[in-house]
Amino acid sequence: MNGKVNLRDALARIAEHWQPHLVGELNGQHVRLAKILGEFTWHSHDDEDELFLVVEGELTLRLRDREVHLSEGEFFIVPHGVEHMPVSEHGASILLFEPAATVNTGNTDDPRRVDELPRL
């Protein structure tokens, strides 16, 4: 990684939904990009907060007590321990900022789990 990342160019290289890609690292944190469509799985992260930033499209974060709707340029931080389910009816491109040890499926055993992130 050369330090400069063009989000649109990086997103153009992502073909599959729900497959996060690593685009940056700093201070034990990962900057990840993903394309999403439909519903993910309900999950939580026991020790990690997770920032969702919408680059393109719209995202709804379902929490057990409410829904948070995000449009392009908006972000929301899901605190550690909070169960959530990302949903995008028409598709979205998102940037995630979270500790490097964070597993995309959190505390669940889901077939969309990614243990080794591809690097862009």
Task: For 46-97, write each residue's pLDDT tens digit.
Answer: 999 999 999 999 999 999 999 999 999 999 999 999 999 999 999 999 999 9
Please state, in angstroms and rounded to a whole number, the distance separating the CA atoms of residues 53 and 73. Answer: 7
Range name among 33-42, 68-77, 95-104 with the lowest pLDDT average: 95-104
Please state, in angstroms and rounded to a whole number, the distance separating the CA atoms of residues 76 and 60. Answer: 10
CATH class of the region 7-99: mainly beta
Give the three-state DSSP class for 115. coil
Please state, in angstroms and rounded to a whole number, the distance separating the CA atoms of residues 42 and 31. Answer: 22
Phi, psi values for residue 62, rounded to 5°: -85, 125
**Contact indicator for 67, 61 with CB cutoff of 8 Å:** yes
| Segments making up each domain of the chain, as ranges | 7-99
β-partners of residue 75 are 53
